[in-house]
A and B are shown apart, each in its own frame.
Chain A
């Protein structure tokens, strides 16, 4: 998948949840949205990019979601 595009899309999601004053809720909002709407290969790629080191331009809420909610976001390995 187009990595920079995934970053842009994830950032857009983060921008919506960023208005939430309680940070934990905002992070959960981002992670929940990725989990509910992003197909596994998209999540997998974003997680891989993040795991490989800091992703330039990645919204901090996305970064935190990827870091703290990894278990939730990691798709189960299936055929």
Chain B
């Protein structure tokens, strides 16, 4: 029978350089110094009974079930807390320890309900197992005395229950919440028999709990239990796959019952997450089978027409004939495609191949345009490769962290837990220093046992000024690592840069007025960072989504180089990627100017390589980027668009302009699992497949390529890659693959950084960090080891330029936008899960001072207005904001936040400036005009979809 029990070593692995040898039940075993007897025993093939120990947590030694005998020693030490010593002779099974264990078990069981047969954990309960292992046959103490059997169950969390009557107070949950997650939401209250587990003074839902699931996973009993297991029963098999939400790219075991997912459990061997998860990947997968899924292809002539359900073949033929008609009428470059970071590498690769070879132009882009395109540009220019330099594990070796424009505890929760662990330090090693550069007081600034040394609370839009000021201090106070720079960087450019940042105008004092950050704080932060043996910079969209996004990325690279912080573990420039496959979609050539592997279309040799492989000419001119496509559509020179997995109508800024552009198209083809906002403007709809319904790979923020595995058949019959292949064929361009593995083989053949990648190797290694080729057959955890990819690292002059978006009398506040933990991007997935209990609408965060001035109270409806448009949201009055700055998210289409954002964009990449918009906020209890219109339009559009297409019944 299938067992979902993964081998548990009882205590964490140790990595000491020295080893010790000992005997366990007569067998000799050698382990790293510091390893527990319990873990050594497992290595020797002996499982010592245990309850309070598990290998994700430090041993605690409370249950006393794991006692053993050690020759020549008195008493019965707990094997989980006793470290191995050379020459020890350990016996794990003797009559005495057996008796002791039975006694322990008897006490536990006497206060435990004996409803095993109907318990949801039946068959997967460690208490039950241990009762069997220790041979418990009778319980002498009855239930007459005091017990906890009537304790009420807490079902407040939408995904798991807490049933204290089954709790054995082993504290695994408490320790998991502290050590693994770093939230400290649980405590043991009381002592002895009175002791119990509590989520603070309230229930789970209202506590500090972030629903990461670590406690549920650690719990050896049914006390903390997934509701899905209680409802659906224990799984019958499991498949290892990768989370389809954020750029951390956690590995999961999809636990299945036939074709049904019953639970997603973070995979212990997952190299990005090491067995941890967040609420999205762990619990919010129900959207995949949500009744809103569109399961039939549909077409229509005009967007005011009802959709007509058609066969796949009809849909392909229709879409292809439209593309051909439009190209014949308006020219080869009047059509294009957009792919998404939510798609797999293989899917993205095919979309750009379809556009370049099938459409015959380079009008292909991906949603990284609106998030991390400046990362690609900035890091390529300075370091030579468009990717982050480190793996996540690197943070364990860092001494000082800068977090700029990122909110890891919400956006990259599993990595944030990892980072917080390093920031807290251990009993023997102090935590790393922390500098947060953010207009908001993000949670990381102060969380349990973590406090930022500096929070540079800058005004939105002044990142470059702050980074220049930090560099100014490093250079002018003689803190630069000139030895490193001399060895690795272009010296002439360095000297030029040094002269530039040393200018008085770049001093913290001179920039104080612009940035709003006291000069002394900048000086302190620069000294702290420069003094750290290993300093690492982590950044997010608060860096890129600005008119100076690319300049900021370059300034970050400059700062890392001048402090000698690239090219070894513990350091680096680390872009935290928003969505699951941002890195991958960029790697796969989905930018209009670059073929896979970041090679410019103007490069004849690269073009030649692809032309040979694909049998079609490749245009040598760059294509349109997403915002350019919109402009060209409004202009009338761009008429058809194929959009796979992306919701531009909701996620892109300046909604009115985007809507106008979409309405101007003669043929919009949307491929998605839901009728998303963009699909409401479409003429052809290809139903997509969720990450559970196809094979492929995602590449996370650390360049780690991880397998995505099919666990159920595609609900609409075809996987997304099959759709692109069939669409291309209908267009007269044939590409043939039997399996996505062959697409990866083609990528490997054509891309120097991928030559060593194959599905077979991924199966063997679990995941691979590119570059993976002859030089690095098993991949590359950190880059630029001996020298920079571009040869010499290049410093760029990064003049601070104020954003054109200025506050005025009419619009005196600055709006900045972001994300929250429980929702994901446009929310199409997470809004269709119970995650809405934490966030059922976007809200506007506003400082108490600004609120009071405007007569706004917490919870009031307010109108948020910019020169572009207005929308109505609920206000949350908070001290997290600085006066003059307001904040919101765009997880819900009806909140229309992008109605307010502007057309401003990064100078180099056109990445939109989501982070700075001049606005006014006024009390206003009515929906905005846009919202009214949107509501009507949206309802009409949903009404145009035949019911059978959504339910997926055959006609």
Cα(A23)–Cα(B484), bound, Å: 30
Q: A16 touches which one: B363, B631, B634, B907 (CB < 8 A)?
A: B907
Determine which of B547, B621, B624, B798 lies in contact with A12 in the assembled complex, contact meaning CB atoms within 8 Å. Answer: B547
Segment 26-73 of A: residues with Cβ below 8 Å from B? 33, 35-42
Number of A residues near B (Cβ < 8 Å) is: 25
Q: Is the beta-carbon distance between A36 and B622 smaller than 8 angstroms?
A: yes
Give the docked Cα–Cα distance between A12 and B798 (Å): 13
A75 to B362, CA, bound (A): 14
A38 contacts which chain B residues (CB < 8 A)?
Answer: 622
Give chain A nearest CB distance to B937 CB in angstroms. Answer: 25
Which chain B residues lie closer than 8 Å to A21 at the CB level? Answer: 496
What A residues does B637 contact at CB under 8 A? Answer: 1, 41
Q: Which residue of A lies closest to B332 (CB)?
A: A79
- B801 x A41 contact (CB < 8 A): no
* B910, A15: Cβ atoms closer than 8 Å: no
B635 & A75 in contact (Cβ 8 Å cutoff): no
Q: How far is the CA of A1 from the CA of B634 in the complex (A)?
A: 8
| B593 A19 Cβ-Cβ under 8 A | no
User: Are A36 and B602 neighbours in the complex by a CB distance under 8 Å?
Assistant: yes
Residues of A within 8 A of B600 (CB): 36
Q: CA A16 – CA B635 in complex, angstroms?
A: 28
Interface of B is mostly: loop
Give complex CA distance A35, B631 in Å: 19
Asked if A9 meets B500 with Cβ closer than 8 Å, knowing A2-B635, A39-B628, A75-B621, the reply is no
The majority secondary structure among interface residues of chain A is: helix
Count of A-B contacts with CB under 8 A? 66
Which residues of B are found within 8 Å of A75, using beta-carbon distances? 621
Contact at B333–A41, with CB atoms within 8 Å? yes
Q: Are A39 and B621 in contact (CB under 8 A)?
A: yes
Task: List chain B residues, Cβ under 8 A from A41.
Answer: 333, 632, 637
Q: Is the CB of A16 within 8 A of B799?
A: yes
Interface mask (B181-216 → A, CB under 8 Å = 1, otherwise 0): 000000000000000000000000000000000000
Query: Are the C-beta atoms of B631 and A5 separated by less than 8 Å?
Result: yes
Would A36 and B593 be within 8 Å (CB), given that A13-B907, A16-B799 are in contact? yes
B798 contact set on A, CB distance < 8 A: 19
Chain A residues, Cβ within 8 Å of B907: 9, 12-13, 15-16
Q: How far is the CA of A9 from the CA of B333 in the complex (A)?
A: 22
Interface: B551 (CB within 8 A): yes
Are A33 and B635 CB-contacts (below 8 A) given A5-B903, A15-B801, A16-B551?
A: no
**Does B411 touch A at the CB level, under 8 Å?**
no
Write out, one digit per residue, whether chain B residues 600-633 have a CB within 8 A of any chain A CB (1) or not (0): 1010000000000000000001111100100110
Residues of A within 8 A of B551 (CB): 16
In whole Å, how far is B364's beta carbon from the nearest beta carbon of chain A?
12
Partner of B593, one of A13, A37, A42: A37
Contact A16 B908 (CB under 8 A): yes
The CA-CA distance from A36 to B632 in the complex, in Å, is 18
Q: How far is the CB of B557 from chain A (nearest CB, A)?
A: 15
Q: Is the CB of A1 within 8 A of B632?
A: yes
> Which residues on B sit within 8 Å (CB–CB) of A18?
799
Query: With A19-B500, A21-B496, A79-B332 known to touch, is A37 a contact of B622 (CB < 8 Å)?
Result: yes
Minimum Cβ distance to chain B for residue A61 (Å): 13
Q: Does B741 contact A (CB under 8 A)?
A: no
- Whose C-beta in chain B lies nearest to the C-beta of A6? B631
Q: Whole-angstrom distance between the alpha carbons of A42 and B634 in the complex?
A: 14
Given known contacts A2-B635, A9-B907, A16-B799, A39 and B602 CB-to-CB distance under 8 angstroms: no
**Do B624 and A39 touch across chains, with their CB atoms under 8 A apart?**
yes
User: Does B578 touch A at the CB level, under 8 Å?
Assistant: no
Contacts of A13 in B (CB 8 A): 907-908
Distance to closest chain B CB from A44 (angstroms): 11
Across-interface contacts of B635 in A (CB, < 8 A): 1-2
- Scan residues 484-518 of chain B and give those whose CB is less than 8 A from a CB of chain A: 496, 500
In Å, the complex CA distance between A4 and B831 comes to 39
Given A5-B903, A12-B547, A36-B602, is A79 in contact with B331 using a C-beta cutoff of 8 Å?
Answer: yes
A15 to B840, CA, bound (A): 42
Known: A18-B799, A39-B628, A41-B632. A33 touches B908 (CB 8 A): yes
For B575-603 the 0/1 string (1 means CB < 8 A from A) is 00000000000000000110000001010
Q: Is the CB of A39 within 8 A of B908?
A: no
Min CB–CB distance B865 → chain A (angstroms): 22
* Residues of chain A lying within 8 A (CB to CB) of residue B13: none
In Å, the complex CA distance between A26 and B637 comes to 32
B797 at the interface (CB under 8 A from A): yes
Q: Complex Cα distance A46/B798, Å?
A: 26
Q: Which residues of B contact A12 (CB under 8 A)?
A: 547, 907
Contact of A39 among B550, B622, B634, B799 (CB under 8 A): B622
A12 to B803 alpha-carbon distance, docked (Å): 10
Residues of B within 8 A of A76 (CB): 621
Tell me, rounded to whole Å, the shortest Cβ–Cβ distance linking B629 to chain A.
9
Q: Report how far A18 CA is from B804 CA in the complex, Å.
A: 17
Chain B stretch 712-768: residues in CB contact (< 8 A) with chain A: none
Q: Would you give 29 A-B contacts (Cβ < 8 Å), ordered by A? A: A1-B632, A1-B635, A2-B635, A5-B631, A8-B804, A9-B907, A13-B908, A15-B801, A15-B907, A16-B550, A16-B799, A16-B801, A16-B908, A18-B799, A19-B797, A19-B798, A20-B797, A33-B908, A35-B602, A36-B593, A37-B593, A37-B908, A39-B592, A39-B624, A39-B625, A41-B637, A76-B621, A79-B331, A79-B332
With A21-B496, A39-B333, A79-B332 already in contact, 7 other A-B pairs whose C-beta atoms are closer than 8 Å: A1-B631, A1-B635, A13-B907, A19-B797, A33-B908, A36-B600, A39-B624
